[in-house]
Structure 1
Amino acid sequence: MDVIRHLFAIQPLLALFITIALGYWVGKIKIGSFVLGGIAGTLLVGVIIGQLGVDIDSGIKNIFFALFIYAVGFQGGPQFFHALNRRSLNQLISSFVMCLIGLLCVLIAAWMFGLDRGMAAGLAAGGLTQSAILGTAGDAIAKLGLSPALVKTMQTNVAVGYAVCYIFGSLGPIIMVSWFLPLIMKWDIRKEAVKLAKEMSGGSAELDPGQFNAVATLSTRMYEVAPNGKAVGRTILEIDKALGDAAVEAILRGGAMIDMADTTIIQSGDQVAITGRVDALKATHDLLGAEMAPPAGLSLVEENREIILTNRALSGREIAEIHDHANIETRRGVFLTAVKRMGRNLPLLGKLQLKTGDELHFLGSPADLNRVQSKIGYKISAAAVTDFIFFGIGMLIGMLIGMIEFKLWGVPVSIGSGGGCLLSGLLFGWLRSVHPRFAALPIGASTFLRDFGLAVFVGVVGISAGPQALVAIREHGLTLFFLGVGVTLIPQIITFFFSYYVLRIKNPIEALACVAGGRSANPAFAALLEKAGNATPVVSFTVTYAVANVFLTLWGPVIVGIITKNAAL
């Protein structure tokens, strides 16, 4: 043990990376269907390693938290701003009400049980499972002008409150959305998810010819045009119109591939390659002739391409509507295979409304994809390199916003660098979605900043808390735990019935997804997806999750500003 202590004293970063590694290993341990998660595991391991008296520069914690929160804002920016519209108004209100009631529960608990600022913020971070509160509240405490010892004690209390309340904070929403609320409402989640999918697909879970729905498997097949075939003498464009969701990709004539145009005439004996959906290919035999094996050595190049939707004319429109209004010259040879929003797969159904910032996955030839790309948005690979000019400006603006102070009921409040970088990230994420030439931050890079930034921050928080954390847990542990149960459950119950009866969010899947999203509860969302058996909850979850992430994060300095009690040394 002395050797380890000596190593950590010489190089404190050893303790940090051991904490992260062990924390994520602990976080993967399953108890039934419950998983603690890497962040909570890192905090707990950090507290244990902190008993060795490791001293890590707090500047490391601050910069990595700023990077984490900027990445969160950048990824959620497009969806956050697009949630601010009439179509999503009820879900937006539901999410805000959830956050507001959560804040009120924390404040009431703090006043009734005499919690100090740090413990109250920790109760919010754990009970509402918003890890970012650890940073925003810690920033706010550091700016109160208190003694270093008192600041450290209250920052430790933030970590303690989080650690004590987090486990039930994660478990509570799972219970609510997957068991309790469906039980009292007598809902069968799987049945309701299937019903919603049918509604979104136009009343049928199966694909009909011409329906723009990528549930079916795409296929490429070869046909030899019969002498008396219906296709003889017709143009490629006419064939594409007849097939619907299938297109001529190549023509071999006399054993050689010919150059094609929309006006190219099909001749007897041509060997034609057709790519399309299985349902659309059923009619190909009667139109062209017998299916044949592809000639040896034939190469037909196609591409999977991800395109970010930036065309405002398409935002808010349904997939089926876009498909039906696009002429065959525009959409021929291009097939939508997936839609993602905030990194999550959406149900690819006809009534799914697309939003600016959605990630659309297409399959087709490079030439066909180039044709439609300009009408949709920009290719993701076009942002393969981070725009460090705008990244630096974004971080700078975030830090400057964090320095602004305002008064809340006469109490000086600042959102700190964490809150400032969140707002800056939201702004630049939105800017990127509408002006793709600026502020490039590839999804892989932003995800790494988000995940690694939070892991480092939480690891340093746990290590710095050290021995003080155990003292605080012994003193407040049981009280904090039950307060955390209340903060976890009460907002969900009140908001659910408010959303159902007042906001008229009646669809069971949407109502439950709003509960999970309004709590920014990823474990609950995962449980709901498992019960649903399809992706129908994703749409409502992404709207409420984006809104909740912003407001819950900002509650950190608000709590520190409203609660006036400081910890006793």
Structure 2
Amino acid sequence: MSIAQQLIQSSPYIALFITLALGYLIGKITIGRFVLGGVAGTLLMGVVVGQLGVDIDPGVKSIFFALFIYAVGFQGGPQFFGALNRKTVNVILSAVVMTSVGLFVVLGAAWMFDLDRGTAAGLAAGGLTQSAIIGTAGDAIGKLGGITEEAKALMQTNVAVGYAVTYIFGSLGPILMVTWIIPTLMKWDIRKEAIELAEGQNDGKTELSDGEFNAITALDSRAYRIDSNSALLHKTIAQANDSLIDTAIELVQREGEALASNEVTFRENDVVVVTGRRSAVKQQASLLGEEIDIPSSVELVEENRQLIATNSKLIGKTLGQIKQLAQKSLTRGVYITDVNRGGTSLAVNADLVIKKHDIVQITGKAADLNRVANNIGQRLGSAYVTDFVLFGLGMVVGLLIGLINFKIAGIPVTIGSGAGCLISGLMVGWLRSKNPKVASFPMGASNFIRDFGLAVFVGIVGLQAGPQAIDAIREHGLTLLMLGVGVTLIPQIVAFFFSYYVLRVRNPIEALGAIAGGRSANPAFAALLEKAGNATPVFSFTVTYAIANVLLTLWGPIIIGIITTNVG
């Protein structure tokens, strides 16, 4: 036994992390416009490292996949429920087409190559990457009449053999299809299309990539010299700030001395510093006087504070009314710089009516904010702290949903922990968008859980599938492997063109997400997310994934019933 095998048997997780490291390393290899990607790289390296014989508890794969899919659902929850409309029917139909074509291709291969029932079912399970077919087909074989128990056992073995031979390309093929083959054929830039789709869902708000930022800030500070025509002349600071919503007069300088009292009355030649939303400051310029450079001695340290509108006395009132009710006896002005409702920023003006659970961002000195905050509502929790109460409960709900099972025409169908955690993640993410007091799951944390959960899941898939698949290929030759390639690729090609030209699922990201979901191809979806860089594929994947999980599971007994060839 080699040293490597001894180490891996002593600690199999060494093999897992070697697989992750090497997989993401070779995933960076670029050939022309083709980039393998970390997901495909990890799958391939898992097959290679798996030849050493790695024994990892299958429960590890399940829990990390559940974490991955929950984080995906959480991030895509608000957009998913917002996207549900009549076009959902076309996305659902694309999954029906995908799974139906997959069934017909398997039946055609079985007829052309005289495959027995078990091998055909295994071809479907591996080529369509739906392991539930192994169980449903095996049960159906066990109930067959008129054949020996020995023949039944052999066909049940052939289900596993067919699955082992075809599963690796069954996982790799959809990755290549949605991240390289179809985008290259259609001349799509996945990241660009994902950004455009996200901007469309966010009312045109720019989707920023890593390292990008908006160089034009929302806030601005300017200085003006009061002249004889200024609208501020002879008013106090309190009177001036009283009518302002999204700007505030922060400072008055008179003969080099800073004045801050509410009762200070503006005089000619005073210098005032106004801070607020850029557009609002610009609008007030003509009323203040001559604009000058901000004096070098002026320093303004302010704070943004996000408050969840919960005060019943303010709900249903306009920002102008709230400003009057909330701001009492302030030394300096506090101004409103953003109002967010359901994840969307609204235009700030005096007539905007505040609804319960709107997030109102106020800006000003900390001492002034402290006086105002309690009049509006509860402070939004830290953007860097995860609400583990809702996170834990969300995972529990997802795993419980995954236990649900039912029968269709006597065939048992189980939701599964993956689908269950996806559903619960969607619900908790949507809840967070509606009630920002709960379910905090910062983007950095959710991205890590999503990416690490995916990496571990794909790595273990490769490690577990590799040895038996290679042995099965050696034993049964390349014919079954090539049939698996056909079962993997043909349904995707047919379903894509049918969906694109007939069902008119034209958005590239939605079309690719439907391909991955209609195949119940989790690694392909993960690779698509990696290329997209955001959660835009979640909607079409989730809808088609649910349909595909049910239909593909049903194909097992149907294949056993239609095909009549038995072993022996």
User: Does the TM-score normalized on the shorter chain lie above 0.5?
Assistant: yes
33-42 vs 420-429, greater mean Cα deviation: 420-429
C-alpha change, 1:107 and 1:276, in structure 2 (3 Å) is: same
C-alpha change, 1:553 and 1:266, in structure 2 (3 Å) is: farther
C-alpha change, 1:106 and 1:289, in structure 2 (3 Å) is: same
287-296 vs 480-489, greater mean Cα deviation: 480-489
> What's 1:276 paired with?
277
Residue in structure 2 matching 1:494, options 487, 491, 498: 498
Residue correspondence of structure 1 range 189-228 to structure 2 within 5 A? 217-218=217-218, 220-228=220-228
> What's 1:158 paired with?
167
> What's 1:287 paired with?
288
C-alpha change, 1:513 and 1:167, in structure 2 (3 Å) is: closer
Q: SS of 2:56's equivalent?
A: coil
CA contact (8 A) 2:339 2:360 kept: yes
CA RMSD of aligned residues (A): 5.0
Gapped regions of structure 2 (runs ≥ 5): 111-118, 140-152, 207-213, 325-333, 349-354, 517-524, 561-565
CA contact (8 A) 1:394 1:428 kept: yes
Shift of 1:161: 1.0
Q: Which amino acid aligns with 1:386?
A: D
C-alpha change, 1:438 and 1:492, in structure 2 (3 Å) is: same
Task: Give, in whole Å, the separation in 1 of the partners of 2:86 and 2:33.
Answer: 32
Task: Give, in whole Å, the separation in 2 of the partners of 1:62 and 1:417.
Answer: 8
> What's 1:129 paired with?
none
Residue correspondence of structure 1 range 221-236 to structure 2 within 5 A? 221-233=221-233
C-alpha change, 1:229 and 1:372, in structure 2 (3 Å) is: farther
Q: SS of 1:290's equivalent?
A: strand
Shift of 1:562: 1.9
> What's 1:99 paired with?
95
> What's 1:552 paired with?
545
Shift of 1:123: 3.9
Residue correspondence of structure 1 range 321-340 to structure 2 within 5 A? 327=320, 333-335=335-337
Task: Give, in whole Å, the separation in 1 of the partners of 2:238 and 2:484.
Answer: 69
**1:172 pairs with 2:173:** no
Residue correspondence of structure 1 range 54-453 to structure 2 within 5 A? 54-84=54-84, 89-114=85-110, 116-117=120-121, 119-124=123-128, 137-138=130-131, 141=134, 153=161, 156=164, 157-175=166-184, 177-178=186-187, 217-218=217-218, 220-233=220-233, 247-254=247-254, 255-258=257-260, 266-268=266-268, 269-277=270-278, 281=282, 284=285, 287-296=288-297, 298-303=299-304, 327=320, 333-335=335-337, 364-365=363-364, 379=380, 381=382, 384-388=385-389, 390-453=390-453
Residue correspondence of structure 1 range 444-523 to structure 2 within 5 A? 444-470=444-470, 474-500=478-504, 511-519=507-515
559-568 vs 2-11, greater mean Cα deviation: 559-568
Shift of 1:116: 4.2
C-alpha change, 1:396 and 1:298, in structure 2 (3 Å) is: closer
C-alpha change, 1:558 and 1:349, in structure 2 (3 Å) is: farther
Please give the TM-score of this superposition, normalised by the length of structure 1.
Answer: 0.68
Shift of 1:11: 1.0
Cα distance per residue 1:228-268 (max 9 Å; x no partner): 14232357799789999x623512344235156xx986443
**1:35 pairs with 2:28:** no
Task: Give, in whole Å, the separation in 1 of the partners of 2:345 and 2:247.
Answer: 24
Q: Which amino acid aligns with 1:172?
A: I
Q: SS of 2:399's equivalent?
A: helix
415-424 vs 16-25, greater mean Cα deviation: 415-424
Task: Give, in whole Å, the separation in 2 of the partners of 1:46 and 1:288.
Answer: 70
> What's 2:554 paired with?
561
Please give the TM-score of this superposition, normalised by the length of structure 2.
Answer: 0.68
Shift of 1:415: 1.9
C-alpha change, 1:462 and 1:359, in structure 2 (3 Å) is: farther
Shift of 1:48: 0.6
Q: Which amino acid aligns with 2:463?
A: I
C-alpha change, 1:348 and 1:3, in structure 2 (3 Å) is: farther
Task: Give, in whole Å, the separation in 2 of the partners of 1:155 and 1:309.
Answer: 55
**1:17 pairs with 2:17:** yes
Which of these two proteins has the greater Rg computed from alpha carbons? 2
Paired residues, what number? 485
CA contact (8 A) 1:174 1:523 kept: no
C-alpha change, 1:294 and 1:149, in structure 2 (3 Å) is: farther
